[in-house]
Amino acid sequence: MKIFITGGSGLIGQHLNVELSKSHEILTQFYKHIGNCSEFNSVRFAINDYETLSSIFKTFKPEIVIHTAAVSNADRADQLPADEVYDVNVNATQKLSELCRKHQAKLIYTSSDLVYAGYRGSYLMEESKLIPISLYAETKLMGEMKVRKTIPNHIILRVALQFGFGLNHSRSHFQFVYDELKAGRKIKLFADQFRSALSLTETARMISELITKSVSGETINFGGADRVSRYYLGKEICRVCKLDENLIEPITMEGVHAMYKVEDVSMNIDKLKQLGIVPKAFRDSVQEILTR
């Protein structure tokens, strides 16, 4: 298949480039960083440069578009003017949806687990209450709404917190934790925030499986097999790498006056599993990443 990946230089995008290029013809987009896009058929432009975006549909003719380009987390979004975040995360998603509809391409949109209300309990279903509490999460939810309204042939993935090693310039929180612990430095990690963390390699593998399924018009929780805190994640790194667990101090959101108190956006992934897409157990994923 011909697949156009937006955000190909990002944390997830670079892993997608590697995985999807194994069996498909890809075109991958980057902007300020090149990452591994130089190793693939790639194109550099700002996602709100709609002339260039339109031209890709005429020249490359993608059958599938995987839209990951975004102002991709709450801290980054807070540092930018709100209209700029809106333009990248909402307007560009709208435009891309229109182009996909016009050119009969399927759109896979990477939304976020942070669109859910984080205080309603664990293992949230796709129909659970949505209350995004940051500008970032709000614009990801608005992106979802644009996709749903504009292009019937879509899949919206509510992507969980990613872990694992980023390629090239990309850095994950997991990498920071690993580097600090490896250097014998003390770190503080939240013990009272829970997510269905999913490894970067699993994300790429599972998207690669998903595109072969005849599923459309669906919103799907795209998370890992287990509900974990960052504290637990740190302890797993220590267990696998035989590092000192006492370097990790468990902290709470109240204790440090966290800006966005998202207690629990762990997700029920039955819908994903019913499609035959099954993530590895969290411990197996951590083991795989650290012993590769």
List residues binding ligand NAP (CB under 6 A). 7-13, 30-33, 46-47, 68-72, 88, 110, 112, 140, 159, 161-162, 170
Q: Is the Cβ of residue 46 or residue 247 nearer to ligand NAP in the bound state?
A: 46
Least separation in angstroms between residue 218's CB and ligand NAP is 17
106 vs 67: CA distance, rounded Å: 11
Least gap, CB of 184 to ligand NAP (angstroms): 26
Minimum separation from the CB atom of position 56 to ligand NAP (A):
13
For the bound state, the minimum distance from the C-beta of residue 87 to ligand NAP, rounded and expressed in Å, comes to 8
Q: Which amino acid is residue 182, in one-letter code? A: K
Query: Least distance (Å) from ligand NAP to the CB of residue 253?
Result: 18
Nearer to ligand NAP, 69 or 251 (CB): 69
Task: Return the closest-CA partner of residue 115 out of 262, 290, 277, 287.
Answer: 262
> Helix, strand, or coil here: 143?
helix
Q: How far apart are CA 105 and CA 260, in angstroms?
A: 36
Q: How far apart are CA 55 and CA 61, in angstroms?
A: 9
Of 209 and 247, the one with the shorter C-beta distance to ligand NAP is: 209
Q: What is the DSSP string of 234-286?
A: HHHHHHHHT--GGGEEEE-TTTTT-SS---B--B--HHHHHTT--PPPHHHHH
Q: In the complex with ligand NAP, which residue's Cβ is closer, 208 or 247?
A: 208
Residue number with CB closer to ligand NAP (82 or 104): 82
How many Å is the maximal CA-CA distance in the chain?
57
